[in-house]
C-alpha cells in the first residue's frame, strides 16, 4: 500500500493492536522480504523475539514499531505490501512472507501477517538514532513527549524528509528547496528527500487541483503558486485518508483487509480519455519516469 494515506490507514490500525504487546514468535516464509534488514546486531528473529512494542510511528511511506531495545521494526509496503491482523489459527493468507505472533496484555494472542505480492516491500529491525531537528520522528497518534523513542528515528529512515501532514513539516524550507531545484515539479514532489509520502497518484491529483503541468520547472513556481500546491497536497492527502485511502482492487487494504474509497474521487490519475471535471477536455496520460503522468492539457499548461 504505497502512498501516505494508505500507510497511515495501516499505522492507525496497528497502533491499538500492537502497542504494549510482546513478540513471542517470528516466522519467515520468504527471506527476500528481509532485504532491508542489516543483520549486524543479530538476526531478524533474534532481535524481535521477547521484545515489547512501544508504539506505531509513520513518516511518509515508512512505518516503524519502536521496541524496548532502542531498535525498531521498520516496515515499508513497497508497491504491494499489506499488514494484516489475524486471529491465530485463521486461514493462511496468500503470499504471506513474514508472520509475527504477539501477546497483548489485554487483547491476548494475535498474528501480524506481512503479505507482499511483488516483494518490493520489506520488514527490518534497525537501530534508532536522534532526529536531526530533535523533534518527533514521525506521527504516532498520541504525542508522548516523555517516551524515549519519540524524538528518535530508524537509521534507514533518517534521510526521508518529513511529510506534509507532519506538524513539524518545515514549509519555508520546502519552498526554498523548490526554488533551488533544477527539475520538474512532479519529480520534486516524488523526491522523498524533499517532501515524503507523495507517490504517483497523489502527485497527479495535487498538480491537477493546483492546475500545474507536471513538467513545470520547480523553481519557476511563484511563491503563491507553491503555497497553493502545498495546500492542494495536504487537502488531497487528508481527504484520501478520511476515505480510507485509494484502492483499485483488493491489493490496498487496511489491517482488516478492507479497501478504501478514494478511487471514486480521483480527477486525473487513471482517467485518461475521460473529460476533465472542470473544462471537459480529455485527460491525457504521458510516459514519465517509467510510469504514467495524468493531466488536463487545458487546465495544466506548461508556462
Partner DNA sequence: CAGTTAACCTGTCAGC
Partner DNA sequence: TGCTGACAGGTTAACT
First to last CA, the chain: 34
Distance CA 189, CA 196 (A): 8
Residue 8, helix vs strand vs coil: helix
Q: Quick one: which segment of 43-51, 145-153, 248-256, 295-303 binds DNA (CB under 7 A)?
A: 248-256
Regarding beta strands 71-76 and 122-130, do their DSSP bridges make them parallel or antiparallel, or are they unpaired?
antiparallel
Cell 497518484 sits at which residue?
201
User: Is 303 among the residues known to form the active site?
Assistant: no
Asked if 2 interacts with DNA (CB under 7 A), we say yes
Distance CA 121, CA 1 (A): 9
Distance CA 86, CA 98 (A): 13
CB of 251 to DNA, least distance (A): 5
Catalytic entry in 2, 5, 66, 164: 2
x/- letters, 257..286, toward DNA (CB under 7 A)? ------x-----------------------
Take residue 77 and report the three cell numbers written for it. 509496503
What Rg do the C-alpha atoms of the chain give, in angstroms?
20
User: Is 225 among the residues known to form the active site?
Assistant: no
Distance CA 87, CA 108 (A): 10
Instruction: Name residues contacting DNA, limited to 170-189 (CB under 7 A).
Output: 180-184, 187
β partners of residue 100? 26, 112
CB atoms near residue 187 (< 10 Å): 16
Asked if 61 interacts with DNA (CB under 7 A), we say yes
* Residue among 49, 251, 257, 297 that touches DNA (CB under 7 A): 251
186 among annotated binding-site residues: no
Is residue 93 within 8 Å of residue 124, measured between CB atoms? no
118 among annotated binding-site residues: yes
User: Is 66 among the residues known to form the active site?
Assistant: no
Count, residues near DNA per rule CB under 7 A = 42
Asked if 119 interacts with DNA (CB under 7 A), we say yes
* Residue among 60, 66, 136, 138 that touches DNA (CB under 7 A): 60
Distance CA 275, CA 281 (A): 5
Asked if 132 interacts with DNA (CB under 7 A), we say no
Asked if 195 interacts with DNA (CB under 7 A), we say no
Q: Quick one: which segment of 17-25, 49-57, 196-204, 228-236 binds DNA (CB under 7 A)?
A: 196-204
> CB-wise, 45 or 219, nearer to DNA?
219
Helix, strand, coil proportions of the chain in percent (round to 5)?
30, 25, 45
CB of 303 to DNA, least distance (A): 17
Sheet of strand 108-116, all strands in order from the earlier edge strand to the far edge: 22-28, 96-104, 108-116, 81-86
* Residue among 249, 256, 273, 280 that touches DNA (CB under 7 A): 249
Closest residue by Cα to residue 64 from 127, 6, 148: 127
The helix (run of H) or strand (run of E) holding residue 180 is: helix 171-180
* Residue among 245, 268, 276, 296 that touches DNA (CB under 7 A): 245
Catalytic entry in 11, 58, 61, 86: 61
Asked if 78 interacts with DNA (CB under 7 A), we say yes
Asked if 192 interacts with DNA (CB under 7 A), we say yes
| Interacting residues with DNA (CB under 7 A) | 1-3, 6, 32, 60-62, 76, 78-79, 95, 117-120, 156, 159, 180-184, 187, 190, 192, 196, 199-201, 245-249, 251-252, 263, 289-292
The residues that are catalytic are: 2-3, 61, 291
- Binding residue numbers for DNA: 118, 181
Which residues are documented as binding site?
A: 118, 181
Amino acid at each position: 500500500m504505497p502512498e501516505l494515506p494508505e500507510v497511515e490507514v495501516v499505522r492507525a490500525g496497528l497502533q491499538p493492536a500492537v502497542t504494549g504487546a510482546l513478540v513471542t514468535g517470528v516466522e519467515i516464509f520468504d527471506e527476500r522480504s528481509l532485504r532491508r534488514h542489516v543483520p549486524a546486531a543479530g538476526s531478524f528473529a533474534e532481535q524481535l523475539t521477547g521484545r515489547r512494542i512501544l508504539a506505531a510511528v509513520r513518516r511518509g511511506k515508512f512505518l516503524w514499531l519502536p521496541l524496548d531495545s532502542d531498535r525498531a521494526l521498520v516496515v515499508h509496503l513497497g508497491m504491494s505490501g499489506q499488514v494484516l491482523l489475524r486471529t491465530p489459527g485463521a486461514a493462511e493468507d496468500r503470499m504471506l512472507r513474514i508472520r509475527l505472533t504477539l501477546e497483548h496484555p489485554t487483547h491476548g494472542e494475535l498474528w501480524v501477517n506481512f503479505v507482499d505480492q511483488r516483494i518490493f516491500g520489506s520488514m527490518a529491525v534497525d537501530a534508532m538514532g536522534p532526529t536531526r531537528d530533535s523533534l518527533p520522528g514521525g506521527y504516532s497518534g498520541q504525542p508522548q513527549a516523555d517516551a524515549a523513542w519519540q524524538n528518535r528515528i530508524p537509521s534507514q529512515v533518517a534521510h526521508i524528509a518529513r511529510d506534509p501532514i507532519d506538524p513539524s513539516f518545515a514549509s519555508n524550507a520546502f519552498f526554498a528547496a523548490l526554488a533551488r531545484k533544477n527539475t520538474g515539479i512532479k519529480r520534486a514532489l516524488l523526491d522523498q528527500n524533499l517532501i515524503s509520502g507523495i507517490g504517483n497518484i497523489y502527485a497527479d491529483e495535487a498538480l491537477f487541483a493546483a492546475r500545474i503541468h507536471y513538467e513545470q520547472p520547480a523553481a519557476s513556481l511563484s511563491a503563491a503558486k507553491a503555497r497553493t500546491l502545498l495546500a492542494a497536497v495536504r487537502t488531497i492527502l487528508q481527504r484520501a485518508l478520511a476515505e480510507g485511502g485509494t484502492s483499485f482492487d483488493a491489493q490496498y487494504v487496511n489491517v482488516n483487509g478492507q479497501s478504501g474509497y478514494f478511487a471514486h474521487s480521483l480527477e486525473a490519475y487513471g482517467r485518461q480519455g475521460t473529460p476533465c471535471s472542470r473544462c471537459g477536455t480529455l485527460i491525457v496520460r504521458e510516459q514519465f519516469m517509467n510510469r504514467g503522468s495524468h493531466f488536463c492539457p487545458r487546465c495544466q499548461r506548461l508556462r
